[in-house]
Amino acid sequence: MDDKITSDNDGKSKFSTYYHSLPNDAKNRYSTKLFYDAGTKSLPDPYVLTEKWSTDPNTWPDLTFGDIYLYLIDTPSIFTKESMKAYKSLEAYKYVVSGHVRVVLSHQISNDCPYIALSSKVTPSQRARDKPHEPWVYLEKKTGTVYCAHCTCMAGLGEVCSHVGALLLKVEMGVKIGMTKTSSTSSACQWNSKFRKEVVLDMLAYEWPTLSMTLV
């Protein structure tokens, strides 16, 4: 792989330990998905960003269910048009309603970067004590369109997995119930920090979209 991609001028790696643990073909896919602006620029590997992460949902773009639907259908994944019609049976949905998606973090990258990074940890539904998976996504700041995503689970190496789907669904829920527009930063951050059973109360007040609403 080109040294310009894997390291800075001072020789320090631009990629995480996780990246360097991947087989070569997976490394290529990982680095390629981070390119933007016709391949002339590259987004940073979210796993190496250690500072300036925020827990405030007010920083999130206006992600819609339509954005999620289009990304999951158009990207190699376990999701199909048929499965999205019955989204309540999806593992991604179950992770959210069961409170297994932990705090969602956001990173603005830079003022001139058109994308924002969002990340979280998703606890395996049947193995709560196991190490959580760590999905991340890049969204367009202005539109909320999903640009790219990844997860540390095995499925995440080659396709969009349920953990990425769960992260996106929690963000969309926060947008829909107004957590990204609230004047109270503390209330929004408190909602974001909820996981496990506490999130169920929010789900009761949330109207999940039907397929007919998806592309409106």
Range of the domain at 112: 43-206
Which is more confidently placed, 164 or 196? Answer: 164
User: Using the 8-state DSSP alphabet, how is residue 146 labeled?
Assistant: E
Question: pLDDT digits over 114-161, tens only?
Answer: 999 999 999 876 665 778 999 999 999 999 999 999 999 987 777 789
Whether residue 189 has pLDDT greater than 90: no
Residue 141 lies inside a defined structural domain of this protein: yes
In a domain, 164, yes or no: yes
Number of domains observed in the structure of the chain: 1
Residue 128 lies in a domain: yes
CA atoms of 212 and 107, how far apart (whole Å):
32
